[in-house]
């Protein structure tokens, strides 16, 4: 395990993701004597809950210049764990108080838009910003749902900028490894293509299925006979509408590319069904089952 220490870590948005990182650092790495974790919320009150739970040591309000300046003074690291759409305004708010040696990272589930926001907000000081994405979630959210082992065995993707200092990237890498995560690196473009494919598109498709059923005059009858296949397929249709609206908008181009590729596959299957072409259907279904089964056998992912 790469050693990781810090004197001051500031987390913007202490919910499931930020709170779990704080709890992981406390329980797995130990916080050095004098080391502090500071939670910043839109208001002071929204971060207080995290202090009451012992997740952070100190809190500050985003709206109060004095509190924010005090929170950021001498910070080693800043983690943005607020909704992705807030990246640019948050960074603009942080910039006047950003120390020369402070490293900033984030936990957003899209990366090209975050990189653009960081460049727009920070200019040349975007060199201090190392984009990241921990792939971890639970059905519940909020700081109450934070777990010290949320990241154990989970992937964290870093998308370093060409202007990042290698030492800063290594430090963010070490931060996540301490939590038990598996850290990978790729470009932000590749990140967004990968997650459009395996995460964003499935969410869109799942929401769309429920919408399709709702639009039918006999929707109630249909829901009353929905069983296990529907249950699994639509579990992610219970996800946050605001979050997924933002993800779809932030990763628009990769998502539409992926959707178009998917529509081409559906078109082939539609043709095969209409032509009663059982051989094509069975070939596609067999390949899919084999790949899905292998994925599960290689470890898949169990809920936490």
Residues 64-83 that bind a copy of itself (CB under 8 A): none
Q: Which of residues 174-203 bind a copy of itself (CB under 8 A)?
A: 184, 190, 193-195, 197-199, 201-203
H or E element at residue 137? none
- CA 230 to chain centroid, in Å, comes to 25
With CB under 8 A as the contact rule, the residue among 95, 127, 152, 281 that binds a copy of itself is 281
Residue 165 or 289: the one with the smaller Cβ distance to a copy of itself is: 289
Does 288 contact a copy of itself by CB under 8 A? yes
Residue 73 or 209: the one with the smaller Cβ distance to a copy of itself is: 209
Residue 69 or 198: the one with the smaller Cβ distance to a copy of itself is: 198
Piece of 13-21, 94-102, 173-181, 246-254 that binds a copy of itself (CB under 8 A): 246-254
CB of residue 63 vs a copy of itself: minimum separation in angstroms? Answer: 25
Q: Which of residues 203-222 bind a copy of itself (CB under 8 A)?
A: 203-216, 218-219, 221-222
Q: Residue 229 to residues 215, 225, 226, 233: CA-CA distances in angstroms?
A: 20, 11, 8, 6
Does 248 contact a copy of itself by CB under 8 A? yes
| Token pair recorded at residue 57 | 């040591």
Does 235 contact a copy of itself by CB under 8 A? yes
Does 233 contact a copy of itself by CB under 8 A? yes
Total residues contacting a copy of itself (rule CB under 8 A)?
A: 91
**CA 90, CA 303: separation in Å to the nearest integer?**
31
**CA 143, CA 53: separation in Å to the nearest integer?**
8
CB of residue 271 vs a copy of itself: minimum separation in angstroms? Answer: 10
CB of residue 171 vs a copy of itself: minimum separation in angstroms? Answer: 23
Dump the DSSP string for 75-121: -SEEEE-S-GGGHHHHHHHHGGG--TT-EEEE--S--HHHHHHHHHH
Does 92 contact a copy of itself by CB under 8 A? no
Residue 69 or 249: the one with the smaller Cβ distance to a copy of itself is: 249
Q: Which of residues 93-112 bind a copy of itself (CB under 8 A)?
A: none
Per-position b or e across 242-272, b if 16+ CB within 10 A of its CB: ebbebbbebbbebbeebbeeeeeeeeeeeeb
Does 124 contact a copy of itself by CB under 8 A? no
Cβ count within 10 A of residue 143 = 26
Does 157 contact a copy of itself by CB under 8 A? yes
With CB under 8 A as the contact rule, the residue among 33, 34, 162, 229 that binds a copy of itself is 229
**CA 175, CA 161: separation in Å to the nearest integer?**
18
For residue 277, with 0-12 CB atoms within 10 Å meaning exposed, 13-18 middle and 19 or more buried, which class applies? middle
Does 223 contact a copy of itself by CB under 8 A? yes
């Amino acid at each position: 395990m790469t050693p990781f220490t810090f004197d001051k870590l500031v987390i913007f948005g202490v919910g499931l993701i930020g709170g779990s990182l704080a709890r992981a650092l406390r329980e797995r790495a130990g916080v050095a004597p004098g080391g502090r974790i500071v939670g910043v919320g839109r208001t002071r009150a929204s971060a207080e809950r995290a202090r009451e739970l012992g997740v952070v040591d100190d809190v500050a309000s985003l709206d109060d210049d004095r509190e924010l300046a005090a929170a950021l003074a001498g910070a080693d690291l800043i983690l943005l764990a607020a909704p992705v759409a807030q990246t640019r305004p948050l960074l603009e708010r942080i910039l006047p108080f950003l120390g020369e040696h402070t490293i900033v990272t984030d936990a957003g589930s899209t990366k090209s838009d975050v990189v653009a926001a960081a460049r727009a907000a920070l200019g040349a000081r975007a060199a201090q910003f190392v984009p990241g994405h921990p792939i971890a979630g639970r059905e519940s959210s909020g700081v109450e749902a934070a777990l010290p082992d949320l990241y154990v065995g989970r992937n964290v993707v870093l998308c370093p900028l060409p202007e990042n200092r290698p030492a800063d990237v290594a430090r963010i890498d070490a931060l996540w490894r301490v939590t038990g995560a598996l850290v990978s690196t790729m470009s932000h473009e590749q990140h967004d293509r990968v997650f459009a494919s395996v995460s964003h598109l499935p969410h869109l498709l799942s929401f769309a299925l429920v919408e399709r059923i709702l639009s039918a005059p006999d929707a109630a009858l249909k829901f009353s006979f929905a069983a296990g296949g529907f249950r699994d397929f639509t579990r992610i249709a219970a996800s946050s509408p605001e979050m997924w609206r933002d993800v779809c908008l932030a990763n628009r181009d990769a998502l539409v590319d992926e959707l178009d590729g998917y529509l081409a596959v559906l078109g082939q299957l539609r043709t095969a069904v209409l032509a009663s072409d059982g051989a094509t259907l069975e070939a596609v279904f067999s390949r899919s089952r084999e790949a899905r089964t292998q994925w599960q056998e290689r470890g898949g992912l169990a809920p936490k």
